[in-house]
Amino acid sequence: MKAKLKFLRVAPRKARLVIDLVRGKDVEEAINILQFTHRAASEPVSKLIVSAMENARSTGANVDNLFVDTIFVDEGPTLRRFRPRAMGRATRINKRTSHVTCVLAER
């Protein structure tokens, strides 16, 4: 009843704002909350919860009693890009990625 989403192209700080909304909620309620959340990470996190739910269904768990037991974001590798600046200089742009882990449990 576990699923991982790796290399999500959203900064971990922004993804944590989304996952804090659904921690401890029932699966159906969590999916409904994410459906109406206007943030970049809400759709991938919703798909992750559905994937964890299907993993639980394949092991024979009762899907109606599932809730989001544990969900957390770890930092993934940073993509480094460079932007030209004045007087021949360049500055680094960090494009951060996230690893999201979701664990569902039965009530």
Q: What is the pLDDT along the chain (107 residues), one digit of tens a residue?
A: 899 999 999 999 999 999 999 999 999 999 999 999 999 999 999 999 999 999 999 998 898 999 999 999 999 999 999 999 999 999 999 999 999 999 999 98
pTM of the model: 0.91
Distance between CA atoms of 32 and 1, rounded to whole angstroms? 20
Query: Would you say 49 and 68 are in contact if contact means Cβ atoms under 8 Å apart?
Result: yes
- Return the exposure string of 23-59: e unless at least 16 CB atoms fall within 10 Å of the residue's CB, then b: eebbbeebbeebeebeeebbebbbebbbebbeebeee
